[in-house]
Amino acid sequence: MKEDNRNLLLAITLSVVILLGWQYFYAKPQMEKQQQIAQQNRQTQTDSVAPGTTAVPAPGTPGVAGTTAPGAVPATPAVETRAQALARSPRVQIDTPKIAGSIALTGARIDDVSLKAYRETVDPNSPNIILLSPLGGPNAYYSDFGWVGAPGTAVPLPNATTVWSADAQVLRAGTPLTLSWDNGQGLLFKRVVTIDENAMFTLRDEVENKGAGPVTLFPYGQVVRHGKPATLGYYVLHEGLIGNLGEQGLQEFTYDHVDKEPALGTGTNGKVWKDAVGGFVGITDKYWAAAVVPDQARKYEGRYSSVQTGSARTYQADFLAEAVTVAPGANGSSNARLFAGAKEVAAIDGYEKNLGIKRFELLIDWGWFYFITKPMFFVMDWIYKHVGNFGIAILGVTLLLKLLFFPLASKSYASMAKMKAVQPEMVAIRERYADDKMKQQQALMELYKTQKINPIAGCWPVLLQIPVFFALYKILFITIEMRHAPFFGWIRDLAAPDPTNVFFFLPAALTSFLHIGIWPIFMGITMFIQMKMNPEPPDPVQKMMFTWMPVFFTFLLGSFPAGLVIYWTWNNLLSVSQQGYIMKKHGAKIELFDNIKGMFGKKPATAVAAPDKPANSNKK
């Protein structure tokens, strides 16, 4: 087999193995899971967890038994619509440029958040994304803050049944809202809530002690989700409980992982991290998250837990900060934050930088190739801000990468050109040492050394493309900026597969499997051209493999995000142009047209016989 074909075959084999592995581990569950999520969304008016059956587990006091926990969740009807659940409590409305919703005065719970800038589908008239929902309705998901009493604390503390008073009817960006409640036994509780232009709530809890004795309280914050949501099931993406717990670092637990943790109490499973400083804990989806942020300068205990609530489970990520002791006549306070919104890169990074939230950027799952993925996103985002189209930004990044790796590609293709130039000598060596493979390899290595040829140089362009491929896929898959980002024509969402299907005439049961859009076909054509740039291998099996490889990849990429297929197509075109230019520069014959003609008629004869006197043959 010719060395350049061997290199190309090796590169293709590596690509196939990686793509098949990626398809199996990452892309296989996509269709089923997305259908499951859609079905779950359609059932939101009929399905819910019975909230009165089991109290939400409250954070425990570090190293102390007998903690006075927040009150149990009040019993409510087992099945309510979202509107009915919202109507169960008086509310303060939330109205900011990006968020609409409300805060329940019963429990001072943030349980109603919709995202104004994001809709369920690309249809501009589709419903806005609902992130947080109240207890009692479908898909309950909310956040609580409050105080846990130390052992022996007998005075009432605010809990889920407490009805707070508010000094305003609407919470707007930059305008504080003050909630207050007097327990009637000497403690006055206040909570000042502000929200920024994006999705960050800031809460300052204050306690005024008018009683005769000191009181010790532990501030807490938690995100609670009733029922296990339908997730995409990708290994490349984390969905579930997430946090960065100070020096203990990033902790990512799937819902199933939490269920399998050791028991923390009756019916409750989970894990606790003590003495953390800085960071956050919360629950994340692909594009959205709700995370509570403790005071970054104080120690806290972080916890992930799940508890059986009826036929489903309730998942909770919470923190319990170190104690605050309030003397008679004094005040105590605690600061915390809640992020509830879309995981926009600029916003998340801005919160880490401006608010000092330790490693808040980890809320976005950049993956193993973080050092490639995030810089690539920044370049792509920079181009987008100048051209206004992420599809063009993908083309621009691909072109920049080609220019960046041009010196390496030039050496690679130059080596391939030299390989073609010495093909007659290589054929002669193989014939001369046909029965002695060791001497044959030694002679070939000597030839490579004399001609300054690197036999594996042809693999480098493809090998370097692999991490770039995964990094770009990660960007398309996990960044909210790519969601519903259009290109041109029929591509309205670069993060979704090409919606066209050349098999539209087949029954629906078959088109779910045989889904090949126009862009995957473009990709297959460009891959076919790229492969025909090289001489066909003499082995029939290899020849058949080379012929059918573009077809195989066309079907394989049919379910990939359109942005990734556009990248691959454009990259193939650039590679063909680059290879043709470099090989022509070094005097190597470009086999493209001869190889295509050979498919439809008699293949032109190629001069591969050894010359009478090979150059630099080094015969001994």
Mean pLDDT computed over every residue of the chain: 83
pLDDT the model gives residue 47: 40
Query: Bigger pLDDT: 12 or 244?
Result: 244
- Collect all residues with Cβ–Cβ distance below 8 Å to 318 and sequence separation of at least 6: 59, 220, 221, 222, 223, 281, 292, 302, 303, 305
- Tell me the pairing of strands 312-321 and 215-226: antiparallel
User: What does the alpha-carbon distance between residue 431 and residue 450 come to, in Å, rounded to a whole number?
Assistant: 20
- pLDDT category at 610 given cuts 50, 70, 90 is very low
Question: Mind listing the pLDDT tens digit for each residue in 313-334?
Answer: 999 999 999 999 999 999 999 9
Residue 24 has pLDDT above 70, yes or no: no
This prediction's pTM: 0.81
Residue 76's pLDDT band (cuts 50, 70, 90): very low
Cα angle for residues 423, 416, 409 (degrees, 5° grid): 175
Q: Do the beta carbons of residue 62 and residue 301 sit within 8 Å?
A: yes
Q: Which residue has the higher pLDDT, 201 or 515?
A: 201
Mean pLDDT of 107-123: 96
Please state, in angstroms and as integers, the Cα–Cα distance from residue 497 to each residue in 178, 185, 371, 396, 491, following that order: 47, 62, 26, 21, 9
Supply the DSSP string of 590-605, one letter for each residue.
Answer: P-HHHHHHHHHSPPPP
Confidence label for 70 from pLDDT (cuts 50, 70 and 90): very low
Instruction: Give, rounded to a whole angstrom, the gap between the first and last alpha carbons of the chain.
Output: 24
Three-state SS string over 84-139 comes to HHHCCCCEEEEECCCEEEEEECECCEEEEEEEEEEECCCCCCCCEEEEEECCCCCC
The structural domains of the chain, ordered by start, are 3-22+377-600 (no CATH), 58-365 (2.70.98.90)
**pLDDT at residue 339 tops 90:** yes
Using a pLDDT cut of 70, give the percent of the chain over it: 77
- Summarize the confidence of residues 541-550 as an average pLDDT: 75
Q: How confident is the model at residue 524 (pLDDT cuts 50, 70, 90)?
A: very high
CA neighbor of 496 nearest in space, from 302, 287, 218: 287
Give backbone dihedrals phi and psi of 578, rounded to 5 degrees, phi first.
-65, -45
Tell me the per-residue pLDDT of 468-504, one tens digit each, with 9 for 90 and over.
878 888 898 899 999 999 999 999 999 889 999 887 6
Closest to 474 measured CA to CA, from 242, 286, 348: 286
Confidence of residue 53 (pLDDT cuts 50, 70, 90): very low
Pairing of strands 91-95, 170-172: parallel
Are 230 and 264 within 8 A, CB to CB? no
Q: Per residue in 355-374, pLDDT tens?
A: 999 999 999 999 888 899 99
Predicted confidence at residue 152, as pLDDT, reads 82
Closest CA to 202 of 96, 294, 299: 294
Q: How confident is the model at residue 617 (pLDDT cuts 50, 70, 90)?
A: very low
pLDDT for the residue numbered 46: 38
Q: What is the pLDDT of residues 130-157, one digit of tens each?
A: 999 999 999 999 999 999 999 888 899 9
- Beta-bridged to residue 309, according to DSSP, are 312
Q: Are 100 and 114 in contact (CB under 8 A)?
A: yes
- Going from the C-alpha of 307 to that of each of 53, 146, 240, 349, the distances in angstroms are 11, 20, 15, 33
The closest alpha carbon to 317, from 237, 244, 252, 242, belongs to 242
Residues 389 and 397: their CA atoms lie apart, in Å, by 12
DSSP-assigned beta bridge partners for residue 102 = 93, 112
Q: How much is the average pLDDT of 36-50?
A: 42
